Amino acid sequence: MKTKYNIPQGELPLYLSQDRLREKQAAIKAGAKVAEYRSVTNKKELENALNELGYPAVLKTCSGGYDGKGQIVIQSYEQMNEACELVKTTPCVLERFINFDMEISIVVTRGMRKGKGTTTFPVTQNIHRNNILYMSIAPAPINKNLQNKVETLAKKITRRMGISGTLAFEFFVKGNELIFNEMAPRPHNSGHYTIEGCETSQFEQHIRAITGMPLGKTDLLQPAIMVNYLGQHVEGIAQMKKMKLPNTFIHDYGKAKALKDRKMGHVTFIEYEKNILENIIKRYW
């Protein structure tokens, strides 16, 4: 795809992921399963879609949503007014609610030049709070079979979409099934653990890909857990910083205003036992 901007990997990844309908259609075409969905642009279409998909269902704006913004989980007809307000403002998609076992993601990098190959970083389990990514756990607690399945599918989608550079795929896991949720055409929040956790970080890998350099090794060096901190956590994190905890890496994004629910930074914990980490989180978050 031709671009007037200097985006080495082209506009295609952005074009596909900017619109949820376009993204889903491209994912299906590339061989992925998605949650059953309907395009919804008015009340009538919303009612029909709810009749077909049932409750609960997730209404999402086609574009502009992030961190659960522009999204309503519709539990019953009582939420019709609220849902209509959203549909009135912009085209939406209604998705069947997936009762997933786990949410996971994977970061894929496809080299720009022929023969430069494609790498995947270890799969993470992602835990959300209020629809905002809270924690990413690497490696995800999934068996080898499923891990291979995720890697193979993510590479296949990337190749079939003709995308280069770095991108992340989010999937719902239900039993042995992988359901494509969305993709992000860039290094991803769930891949921040790679900075300390992997031989090459997702950021370095992206630069390698778009400059035509050989891609780096993506092996996990040690188990890593990344926890995001939001505006309301900033003071606690400042306290934690003073403690100089070992194997704890605080990344402050330097944002001027600490607003509630605004991502202000993340902390990566390397090789921590679950109960110790739980205590740290209880104390400082």
Residues engaged in binding Mg ion (CB under 5 A): 170
Nearer to ligand ATP, 71 or 248 (CB): 71
Nearer to ligand ATP, 119 or 228 (CB): 228
Q: Which does 196 bind (CB under 5 to 8 A by kind): ligand ATP, Mg ion, none?
A: none
Contact between 1 and 11 under an 8 Å Cβ cutoff? The reply is: yes
Of 85 and 101, which CB lies nearer to ligand ATP in the complex structure? Answer: 101
Distance CA 109, CA 8 (A): 14
Among ligand ATP, Mg ion, none, the one that 67 touches (CB under a kind-dependent 5 to 8 A) is ligand ATP
* Shorter beta-carbon distance to Mg ion: residue 172 or 229: 172
Residue 65: contacted member of ligand ATP, Mg ion, none (CB under 5 to 8 Å, by partner type): ligand ATP
**What minimum distance in Å lies between the beta carbon of 157 and ligand ATP?**
16
To the nearest whole angstrom, how small is the minimum distance from the Cβ of residue 163 to Mg ion?
18
Q: Which residues bind ligand ATP (CB under 6 A)?
A: 35, 58, 60, 65-68, 71, 95, 97-98, 103, 128, 131, 133, 170, 181-182
Q: How far is the CB of 17 from ligand ATP (least distance, A)?
A: 10
Dihedral of CA 268/273/276/279: which sign?
A: positive
- Cα(138)–Cα(159) distance, rounded to whole angstroms? 25
* Type of residue numbered 18: Q
Q: Name which of 97 and 203 has its Cβ closer to ligand ATP.
A: 97
Residue 101 or residue 219: which is nearer to Mg ion going by CB? 101
As measured in angstroms, the least distance from the Cβ of 96 to ligand ATP is 6
Out of ligand ATP, Mg ion, none, what residue 98 binds, judged by CB under 5 to 8 A for its kind, is ligand ATP
| In the complex, least distance from residue 170 CB atom to ligand ATP, rounded to whole angstroms | 6
Cα–Cα distance between 216 and 107 in angstroms, integer?
14
97 is in the binding site of which of ligand ATP, Mg ion, none (Cβ under 5 to 8 A by kind)? ligand ATP
Q: How far is the CB of 92 from ligand ATP (least distance, A)?
A: 12
Quote the least distance from Cβ 117 to ligand ATP, whole Å. 27
End-to-end CA distance of the chain: 44
Cβ contact 216:244 at 8 Å:
no
Indicate the residue among 95 and 196 with the shorter CB distance to ligand ATP.
95
Closer CB to Mg ion, 23 or 170, in the complex: 170
232 binds, among ligand ATP, Mg ion, none (CB under 5 to 8 A by kind): none
Q: Which does 18 bind (CB under 5 to 8 A by kind): Mg ion, ligand ATP, none?
A: none
